[in-house]
Structure 1
Amino acid sequence: MEQKNQYQTLVNNLQTALALLEIDKNSQLYQDTISVCNYLSKPGFQIAVFGPFNYGKSTLINAILGNRALPIDIIPTTGAAISVKYGEELKTKITFIDGKEINQTGTEILKEFAILDGDRRMRDDVASVQVFCPHPLLQNNVELLDLPGTNDREAQDELVRNKLLTADLIIQVLDGRQLMTLTEREKLHDWLIDRGIKSIVFVVNFLNLLESEDQKEVYKRLRFVAESFRADLPSNISNLYRVDALPALRSRLKGDVAAAQSSGLVMFESALQSILAAKQEKMEDIRLPRVVTIAAQIKQSLQTKTQSIASELETIENKHNAKIEIQQKAEKLIKQGFVTSVLELRNWLDEQTLLYRYQSEAAAALQQGQFNNWERDFLQPKLVQLQESIVKWVTQSSEFFNRPQPEILSISFPSHPQVNLPNKPTNSNDLADTASVGVATGLGWVLGGPVGAAVVGSAAYLLNKNLSKDKQQTSEESYHNQVTQLYADAVKDYLIRFSKEALDQLLKYQDKAERIMTFQMPELPLEVSSKRSQLKLLNACFENIDLNELRSGTNSL
């Protein structure tokens, strides 16, 4: 029971590996893995006979059975894997792909469903072919498997290759008329040895067709080939036998014991009985090495995929970290630019700065009724420029960090200054002087703006003063100075209000803007967590398939 549980655990691990690897179900590794998983719990002992077409495989099986149970001819015939099992009478069971069955006494039906068609192709509607035969060799749950000939078509080769993996004993039929070909040697390694299959017996046929001396030489050379291959057989059992298949079949059909003896059939059957006696008691020493071989291939595939996913994961994480680094640098640059722009606007909005730069110009414009134009042409453009510099950084931050943008910074101007002038003096001469000053001031604004107005106006004033230098300052002059001061004070109040209100608006906007400029660490892409999980499963599966434990189990058998 414990061993059965261990087998089931191994099967579960291998099947899990197939799912994780997402291997194509038509691939050889997938098919081999499924085969060995089923093979571990497969009942009975299966003996597969294989070799190229026309090597006498079916004839050899018929000789062993002492019956012409299987179709034999001088042309390639076997077009399916024919399973020969024990039965009370000779009969055939054909199972089709769609589930239908044909059960018929005898084996004549094989000529219709188990041989190649006119184009030398296997039927594609047959799932399995079974022959039941009342022979003592088969009674102890032993099965003979007659495989299609190799070296003809790829589909037949693939079928044979798959069936060999789950056969407990392989009988490879050789043609005595030619030494083991290169193709046969390659198949021996690729299909058998490299897949952990070592329970192999070579049977050489057709030696009876050679001259006596040639028979000895060929057999000697084949013996060298066979001994160079380390077969997993009982110590007293050879892995090479001569069986003249057709003479052996004829002798069996006639009941000629002496002829059967001379054909090599009796010696070979004795060896088969010895192998069955030794191997049926302990099937693990045949099956586990194959499982180890396939499991090693699975582990290699797991390791390859693990390395591939680890590499992909590293690339994704590096890209993610690089993006974070870029965003962190961007955050620093944007914040620096934003702070610089805010500081520039704050400095410009400073009360003293505004008064120093604009009070005299604004007062002159106000006095000439041009304050609205002055505000539009001189104050507003500078404010818009500084505001746009700030908003640029906020917009970049919003787009770069994918954050909602706050309301646009919009600093408004306070209400225009208002001046209540005192009553003018009544002296006509002084009024003329005052009028001349007003005209001069107006011309100064037209010619050169507020500064020009101030300069020209001052020049007129000085001229008037020079003309009247011998006179005492009139009451109208005093009135002019008073009016000028009133305009200056009104503009001062305007600029102070503008400074205070604008700085207050800037502070509120700055607080909102700084909230979206803080870099938030992005979550890892879903692909990362998916690959990490996949990597964890692959590593766990890799560790669960313990080859050392499997090999130690094999070696302890």
Structure 2
Amino acid sequence: MAQQNNYQNLINNLQTALALLEIEKNSQLYQDTLSVCNHLSKPGFQIAVFGPFNYGKSTLINAILGNRALPIDLIPTTGAAISVKYGDELRTKINFIDGREINESGTEILKKFAILDGDRRMRDDVTSVQVFCPHSLLKNNVELLDLPGTNDREAQDKLVRDKLLTADLIIQVLDARQLMTLTEREKLHDWLIDRGIKTIVFVVNFLNLLEAEDQKEVYKRLRFVAESFRADLPPNISNLYRVDALPALRSRLKGDVAAAQSSGLVIFESALQSILAAKQEKIADVRLPRVVKIVAQIKQLWQAKVQSIASELETLESTYNAKIQIQQKAEKLIKQGFITSVLELRNWLDEQTLLHRYQSEATAALQQGQFSNWERDFLQPRLVQLQESIVKWVTQASEFFNRHQPETLSISFPTSPQVNLPNKPTNSEGLADTASVGVATGLGWVLGGPVGAAVVGSAAYILNKNLNKEKQQTTEESYHNQVLQLYTDAAKDYLIRFSKEALEQLIKYQEKAERIISFQMPELPVEISTKRSQLNLLNGCLEKIDRELESLKTSLN
């Protein structure tokens, strides 16, 4: 049960590997992998007989069965993979693509559905051909597989190649008259050895047709070929046999034991029995090497795939990291510029700085009735310049970090100062000019009541007109000083309010702007996550395959 679970785990992981590697379903590797997986835990023991057309494959099987069960002729005949299994009587079962099934006694039906057509092509409507035969060799789930001849058409060659992968023992039939051609050698390596198939027995046919001296020479060459190939067979079992197939069949049909012995059939059958006895008990030893070969091919594709993904991932990560580094550097530069600009505006808005720089100008503008013009032409341009310097950095951060930009920094000015002047002395004629300035500028004269006041917003500057007459200055100079003080105080109050309100607005904007400028690690791009996941899946799947293989090998030892 444990070994069966190991089989299933290995099969599942191999199929997962095919999907992860995106191998085409019609590719040879994909088909081979599925075939090996399906056959890995399949019960029974399959013996496949293959070789070029007219090498006597079907005749050899008939000789073993002692029955003309399979069609044989002087021209190439076998046009399907015919599976010969044990049955109580000789009968044939044929399945078709459309679901039809023929189940008849005997094997005459094979001549219609299991031979090549007039163009020497296989039928394309047949899915399987099975012959059931009452022979002792076939008991205990042993199956003989008669394959179409090779070296004729590509379709036949592909069918044979696919079937050989799931055969537990290969009987390669050779022709003594053209021993081991170059094509046969290539197929031995490409179709068998390179795919992990080493349970191979060579059977040479037609040796009886050669002269005695030629037979010796051919057999000498055959032994050299056989010895150069290390077959995975039980000890003391040769991988080379001579069987004169047609004489062997005739001797069996006649019941001539001596003739069967001289044809080489009896020795060969004895070897088959020994191989079956040894290999059926350790069937995994036969099948596992093929899985190892499949895994080796998958690993080659896996390595190429992993290298490709790793290279793509490295490029993506390099681009991603470079982008982060650029953004981090940009954050640093923008922050430095932003802080510098904010500090410059903050220093300019400092109360003492404003008073020192602008109080006298503001006072004069008030006196001249030109405060609004002065505010627009002298104060506002500098403020706008400093604001734009700050907003520039925030705009850059918003665009660079792809974030929503807050409302622009727009510091407003306080309401303009309003100055209420004291009543003019009645005996002063020199104040006419001052009064006219006040009216002309629209600042307004407030001439009623005993109290004169300079008002800036909610602040009021009050001069008590009811001073003690002994201490009150009634001269023109005293009046001008009082007026100047009112304008001076009004300008000071305006600049103090401007400093306070502007700094409050700047702080609020700075809090919002700093969140925009602050660098945040971006989400990992989907491409990087996908590539990393692919690598993890591929590596994990391969590790599981290796682990399952090792587990199977350990359980077999």
TM-score under structure 1 length normalisation:
0.83
Instruction: Report whether the alignment pairs 1:166 with 2:166.
Output: yes
- Give the C-alpha shift of residue 310 in structure 1: 4.7
Give the number of the structure whose residues are more often helix, by fraction: 1
- Describe the shift of the 1:152–1:380 C-alpha distance in structure 2 as closer, same or farther (beyond 3 A): farther
The alignment status of 1:69 with 2:69, answered yes or no, reads yes
* Residues 223, 363 of structure 1: alpha-carbon distance in 2 compared, 3 angstrom cutoff: same
Counterpart in the other structure of 2:370: 370
Aligned to 2:139: 139
The Cα shift of 1:110 comes to 2.0
- Structure 1 stretch 535-544 or stretch 391-400: which is displaced more? 535-544
- Distance in 1, matches of 2:177 and 2:301, equals 42
Q: 1:113 maps to what in 2?
A: 113
Q: What one-letter code is carried by the residue in structure 1 that aligns with 2:371?
A: F
| Alpha-carbon shift at residue 345 of structure 1 (Å) | 1.0
Aligned to 2:88: 88
Give the conservation status (yes or no) of the 8 Å contact 1:59–1:245: yes
Q: Which residue of 2 aligns with 1:196?
A: 196
**Most deviating of 232-241 and 258-267:** 258-267
Deviations 1:9-37 (A, max 9, x none): 44344344444444333333333332223
Counterpart CA distance in 1 for 2:152 and 2:388 is 82
Q: Secondary structure at the match of 1:132?
A: strand
Offset, 1:191: 1.7
User: What is the 5 A alignment of 1:364-513?
Assistant: 364-424=364-424, 430=430, 483-484=483-484, 486-513=486-513
Supply the distance in 2 between the matched residues of 1:553 and 1:182 (Cα, whole angstroms): 39
2:97 corresponds to: 97
Instruction: Report how many aligned residue pairs link the two structures.
Output: 522
Q: Is the 8 A contact 2:3 2:552 kept in 1?
A: no
- Return 5+ residue gaps in structure 1 as ranges: 443-473
The equivalent of 1:30 in structure 2 is 30
Instruction: Please tell me the root mean square deviation across aligned C-alpha atoms, in Å.
Output: 3.3
- Aligned-pair identity in percent equals 84
Alignment of 1:31-430 (within 5 A): 31-299=31-299, 301-302=301-302, 305-306=305-306, 308-424=308-424, 430=430
1:51-86 per-position Cα deviation (integer Å, ceiling 9, x unaligned): 122222222222222333222333333222110112
Any idea what SS the aligned residue of 1:124 has? coil
Counterparts in 2 of 1:386 and 1:119: CA distance versus 1, 3 Å = farther
**Partners of 1:213 and 1:521 in 2: how far apart?**
87
SS at match of 2:340: helix
Alpha-carbon shift at residue 502 of structure 1 (Å): 0.8
Match of 1:466 in 2: none
How many angstroms apart in 1 are the aligned matches of 2:426 and 2:115? 140
Distance in 2, Cα, partners of 1:169 & 1:17: 28
The one-letter code of the counterpart of 1:61 is I
For residues 53 and 378 of structure 2, the distance between their equivalents in structure 1, rounded to whole angstroms, comes to: 104
- Which SS does the other structure have where 1:78 is aligned? coil
Residues 1:501 and 1:50: Cα distance change in structure 2 (over 3 Å): same
Shift of 1:527: 5.0
Shift of 1:211: 3.5
Unaligned 5+ residue runs, structure 2?
442-473
Whole-angstrom distance in 2 between the partners of 1:153 and 1:366: 110
Mapped contact 1:430–1:475 kept (Cα < 8 A): no
Offset from partner CA, 1:319-375 (integer Å, 9 cap, x none): 443333333222222211111111111122223333344344444443343332332
> CA offset at residue 228 of structure 1?
0.6
Query: How far apart, in 2, do the equivalents of 1:486 and 1:119 lie?
Result: 122
Q: Tell me which residue corresponds to 1:449.
A: none
Q: If the length of structure 2 is used for normalisation, what is the TM-score?
A: 0.83
SS at match of 2:177: coil
The question of whether the paired residues in 2 share the 8 Å contact of 1:292 and 1:551 is answered with: no
AA aligned to 2:231 is A
Per mean C-alpha deviation after superposition, the further-off stretch among 200-209 and 305-314 is 305-314
Q: Distance in 1 between matches of 2:487 and 2:276?
A: 125
- Equivalent residue number for residue 445 of structure 1: none
Change (3 A) 1:548 1:88: closer
Contact 1:424 1:476 in 2 (8 A): no
